[in-house]
Amino acid sequence: MSGLEASSNEALELKEEKDFDVELEGNSDFDYRHDPFEYLFYRDRKEWSDLAPVPQDDGPNPVVKIAYSEKFTDVFDYFRALLKNDEKSERAFTLTAEAIELNAANYTVWHYRRVLLQALEKDLRQEMRYITAIIEEQPKNYQVWHHRRMVVEWLSDPSEELEFIADILSQDAKNYHAWQHRQWVIQEYKLWDSELEFVERLLEEDVRNNSAWNQRHFVISHTTGYSDPAILDREVQYCLCQIRKAPHNESVWNYLKGILQDRGLSSHPGLLERVLELKETQCSPYLLAFLVDSYEDSLESNNTRATLNQAQEVCALLAQVKDTIRREYWLFLGRSLESKYGPTAAPQADAADQQEPS
Amino acid sequence: MGTQIKDVVIKDDAPNALILDKHADYIAAYGSKKDDYEYTVSEYLRMSGIYWGLTVMDLMSQLPRMNCEEITEFIKSCQHECGGISASIGHDPHLLYTLSAVQILSLYDNVQALDVDKVVEYIKALQQEDGSFAGDKWGEIDTRFSFCAVATLALLGRLDAIDVDKAVEFVLSCMNFDGGFGCRPGSESHAGQIYCCTGFLSLTSQLHRLNADLLGWWLCERQLPSGGLNGRPEKLPDVCYSWWVLASLKIIGRIHWIDKAKLRAFILACQDEETGGFADRPGDMVDPFHTLFGVAGLSLLGEEQVKPVNPVLCMPEDVLRRIGLEPELLS
């Protein structure tokens, strides 16, 4: 939904004049751009006088004149004029940069710029420098990242990507767009080698970074996988270590559950004991939730009243004390366990019958 | 051991009553104010902006205050030769705005104002070999666009135009280890994407492919002590997640897993008593986007002053009844 686009944008402020490193070959606009006191509107520039500016057609907008910034109006009036004439020129290309600076979310401007990049056979390396600068300014925008992807594809050159994305992530380690781009680059160009190391670095900085945990799963699933018991155990130990450092961490518990759930949470030797130990000193609602899931998993293969009682106790603790905001969920879980494993439960079908086709 | 939880604190003097009239006035006047720079720079999403405004007005039974004829003419002039619809005049067509346009015309019971066959053709052409959908000819792939495609086609009664099975397989390939969904396979679970994917699975009658308990738990974990909902772990609450998360929970039949009273209090606190409208969190600036999702969230919570809203399409239930569209929900 475009609403998701809006919510990830920064506030749309009028940007100050910014210098970015783009060569404007013999374009007299250059002088105007870099001296704000001498800025000339397009409507006053001799070399644009052949073009009739096209005012904004607001559609269902009452006749009241809106006081937008003059510069914004001027630039977009001329953008619309270029579009209308389907003009493919240097001056058009330069103007797209100005339009983008004023409104980087306007996807039509980006489309037009790409058309011009191809029609004018522009230097794509230069375009990489340009898009790098733009993303640094406005990293939470779908269009800028998609544009960068297109340029990387056209160049077939991902060599700058990992470092660039790392830089963006150093400013906001959870930037959703940055992570998508990173995943694309890694998969497309098979750049898996140092990614686990990168993830670990980020987790050192913020062990609660959910994006980094997601990336950990992404890297391992696509490389070694989790079926090797040594790898699985390594991951379990890693999780336990992180939990000890920062117990109140939804992501690590989600990850731990995620990597074990196919095998069964209670199948990993010694894990339940470690979790029970941690319960004494590093408890959290997530730990308790994991405990219930563990008990439930062991009930699948060995239904004992003792285990069921333990599970029920934890559900009650969560519902009444530790996670009351989710009371309804914990009560549901308790009831569900009772009906599945309690004395009145129907005889359990063979576990194999209950598996969904994958 | 004290841990700082990422959350907001609702002040004692935050709004705690629903001021619907102020919201209706805010939306009715939106775009006509002299100094509205925000309105201008959001031209690139105008079609969605209109959809947000009209839908919230209809939910508040105030739709007649908006100008049906002007809007219809505007939409007609946004349909391009390829059949797709743009956000505004002079902009390029895109699936996002194609959906918004069809939603608006559905409110007005006038989808025939468009060349429907061409819309269907446009959407069909955006489906990729792996079943996914590009947003437009430039090829960005995202599960949001899978949702836009099937929602638009469902409203037009033309879901058969695409390869539904392949579309489903692609969306399911975006299911993560935590039961959630991201924008592409491997992408981090995010409430907005989850809404799109559960909505998609509802429209294609494939909700049984979800692990509803697992996903429901992940979704109810979005609720923070303030009562508000965030979009993924360790993020701040935002009123729009009252929609993305809540609607998803409603679709999978687990809306009772969140604390409704606390959420309601959070949503109400996001109102601006002076200007009308809702902001992303208490005290921030309002906008139509958050206003729709605040009101729609309240509707899902059972607010009597607001019309029932459909959790899949975010449109009034009575509109969908008229169309004869009843997307599946889990109980």
Question: A211–B144: do the CB atoms touch at under 8 Å?
Answer: no
Is B220 in contact with B296 (CB distance < 8 Å)? no
Which of B36, B188, B214, B259 to probe by mutation at the A interface, max A CB count within 10 Å?
B188
Amino acid at residue number B312: V
Is A263's pLDDT higher than 50? yes
Is B330's pLDDT higher than 90? yes
Is A280's pLDDT higher than 80? yes
pLDDT tens digits, one per residue of B107-120: 999 999 999 999 99
Residues 267-306 (B) with a CB less than 8 A from some CB of A: 280, 287, 289, 293
Q: What is the DSSP string of A182-203?
A: HHHHHHHHT--TTHHHHHHHHH
pLDDT score for A247: 94
Q: What is the DSSP string of B186-208?
A: TPPP-HHHHHHHHHHHHHTT-GG
Is B314's pLDDT higher than 70? yes
Tell me which of B32 and A98 has the higher pLDDT.
A98
CB atoms under 10 Å from CB of A153, counted, come to 13
Question: A218–B100: do the CB atoms touch at under 8 Å?
Answer: no
3-class secondary structure, B172: helix
A19 class by beta-carbon count within 10 Å (0-12 exposed, 13-18 middle, 19+ buried): exposed
Annotation says A140 is catalytic: yes
Is A198's pLDDT higher than 50? yes
In angstroms, rounded to a whole number, what is the distance separating the alpha carbons of residues B207 and A136? Answer: 40
Closest among A111, A101, A115, A122 to A24, alpha carbons compared: A122
Least confident window among A26-40, A41-55, B72-86, B168-182 = A26-40
What does pLDDT average to over chain A?
86
- A334, two tokens: 């308790």
Residues 314-343 (A) with a CB less than 8 A from some CB of B: 325-329, 332
Amino acid at residue number A25: E
Nearest chain A CA: its distance from B274 CA (Å): 21
Is A209 in contact with A254 (CB distance < 8 Å)? no
Residues of chain A found within 8 Å of residue B92, distances taken between Cβ atoms: 107-108, 111
- A352, two tokens: 């194999």
| Interface residue A183 vs chain B (CB under 8 A) | yes
pLDDT score for A26: 37
Among A140, A245, A279, A322, the active-site one is A140
Closest CA in chain A for residue B33: A66
Closest CA in chain B for residue A175: B188
Inter-chain CB pairs, A–B, below 8 Å: 200
| Interface residue A88 vs chain B (CB under 8 A) | no
Q: What's the whole-number mean pLDDT along residues B141-150?
A: 98
Tell me which of A352 and B48 has the higher pLDDT.
B48
Closest CA in chain B for residue A178: B187
pLDDT score for B101: 98
pLDDT tens digits, one per residue of A81-130: 999 999 999 999 999 999 999 899 999 999 999 999 999 999 999 999 99
| Interface residue B331 vs chain A (CB under 8 A) | no
pLDDT score for A62: 43
Is B242 in contact with B297 (CB distance < 8 Å)? yes
Q: Which of B90, B221, B238 sits opposite A57 (nearest CB)?
A: B90
Pairing type for strands B278-279 and B315-316 reads unpaired
| Interface residue B230 vs chain A (CB under 8 A) | no
Which of B50, B86, B108, B138 to probe by mutation at the A interface, max A CB count within 10 Å?
B138
Which of B51, B102, B143, B177 to probe by mutation at the A interface, max A CB count within 10 Å?
B177
Interface ipTM above 0.95: no
Nearest chain B CA: its distance from A196 CA (Å): 15
Is B48 in contact with A3 (CB distance < 8 Å)? yes
Is B231 in contact with B191 (CB distance < 8 Å)? yes
Is B153 in contact with B163 (CB distance < 8 Å)? no
pLDDT score for A347: 67
Element (H, E) at B287: strand B286-287
Which of A154, A214, A283, A356 to probe by mutation at the B interface, max B CB count within 10 Å?
A214
| Interface residue B250 vs chain A (CB under 8 A) | no
Residues of chain B found within 8 Å of residue A246, distances taken between Cβ atoms: 3
pLDDT score for B43: 87
| Interface residue B37 vs chain A (CB under 8 A) | yes
Q: Which of B67, B186, B221 sits opposite A60 (nearest CB)?
A: B67
Angle at A41 between CA A37 and CA A43, to 5 degrees: 155
Binned at pLDDT 50, 70 and 90, residue A55 comes out as: confident
pLDDT score for A261: 92
Residues of chain B found within 8 Å of residue A184, distances taken between Cβ atoms: 184
| Interface residue A38 vs chain B (CB under 8 A) | no
Is A35's pLDDT higher than 90? no
Residue A2 CB contacts under 8 Å (≥ 6 apart), including other chains: B45, B48, B87, B96, B97, B100
CB atoms under 10 Å from CB of B241, counted, come to 28
Q: What's the whole-number mean pLDDT along residues B190-211?
A: 98
In angstroms, rounded to a whole number, what is the distance separating the alpha carbons of residues A82 and A88? Answer: 8
Is A292's pLDDT higher than 80? yes
Is A357's pLDDT higher than 60? no
Residues of chain B found within 8 Å of residue A220, distances taken between Cβ atoms: none
Nearest chain A CA: its distance from B317 CA (Å): 19
